[in-house]
Amino acid sequence: MKNTQFLFQIHYLISPTMKSVSQLNSMQSRSLLHTCLPLMNKKTTRIDSNEEQLHMKIDNKQSKDYMMHHEIYSEKELNDIKITHKKFESWHDRVAFAAVRTMRFFFDTFTGYIHESSTSKSDKIIKTMTEQQWLRRFIFLESIAGVPGMVAGMSRHMKSLRTMKRDHGWIHTLLSEAENERMHLLTFLELRQPGYVFRGFVLLGQGVFFNAFFLTYLLSPQICHRFVGFLEEEAVITYTRCIENLDAGKLPAWRNLPAPQIAKNYWKLSNDAMIRDVLLVIRADEATHRQVNHKLADVGPNAPNPFLIQTTETQTPPSIDEQQEIDTANKN
| pLDDT for the residue numbered 250 | 93
Predicted local distance difference test score (pLDDT) of residue 266: 92
Q: In what helix (H) or strand (E) does residue 206 lie, and over which residues does it extend?
A: helix 196-219
Binding residue numbers: 142, 181, 184, 232, 286, 289
Torsional sign, CA 281, 283, 286, 291: negative
- Return the pLDDT at 32: 36
Q: Which residues are annotated as a binding site for Fe cation?
A: 142, 181, 184, 232, 286, 289
Q: How many domains does the chain have?
A: 2
Q: Which residues of 214-227 are buried (b: 16+ CB within 10 A; e: fewer)?
A: bebbeebbbbbbbb
Residue 204 lies in a domain: yes
Side-chain half-sphere exposure of 297, counting CA atoms within 13 A:
26
Q: Could you read off the pLDDT tens digit of each residue along the chain, which spans 332 residues? A: 555 555 455 455 445 544 454 444 444 443 333 334 445 554 444 434 443 443 333 344 434 556 677 788 888 888 889 999 998 888 889 999 999 999 888 877 776 776 655 444 444 445 678 999 999 999 999 999 999 999 999 999 999 999 999 998 899 999 999 999 999 999 999 999 999 999 999 999 999 999 999 999 999 999 999 999 999 999 999 999 999 999 999 999 999 999 999 999 999 999 999 999 999 999 999 999 999 999 999 999 999 988 875 544 445 666 666 666 666 666 54
Q: What is the pLDDT of residue 2?
A: 52
Flag whether 270 is in a domain.
yes
324 and 193 share one domain: yes
What is the per-residue pLDDT for 230? 95
State whether 44 and 135 are in the same domain: no
| Strand partners of residue 67 | none
Residue 57 shares a structural domain with residue 102:
no
Asked if residue 204 and residue 58 are part of one domain, the reply reads: no
- Confirm whether 3 is domain-assigned: no
In a domain, 33, yes or no: yes
Residues 288 and 183 grouped into a single domain: yes
In a domain, 281, yes or no: yes
Asked if residue 180 and residue 278 are part of one domain, the reply reads: yes
Give me the CATH number covering residue 148: 1.20.1260.140
| Domain interval for residue 45 | 21-62
- Can you give the pLDDT at residue 11? 52
Residue type for position 227: F
Q: Is residue 114 part of a domain?
A: yes
Question: Residue 74 domain-assigned?
Answer: no
Q: Is residue 288 domain-shared with residue 227, that is, in the same domain?
A: yes
- Structure confidence at residue 69 (pLDDT): 75
Residue-level pLDDT at 109: 78
**Do 29 and 164 reside in the same domain of the chain?**
no
> Are 52 and 141 found together in one domain?
no
- On whether both 35 and 94 belong to a single domain, the answer is no
Does residue 28 fall inside a structural domain? yes
Residues 98 and 235 in one domain: yes
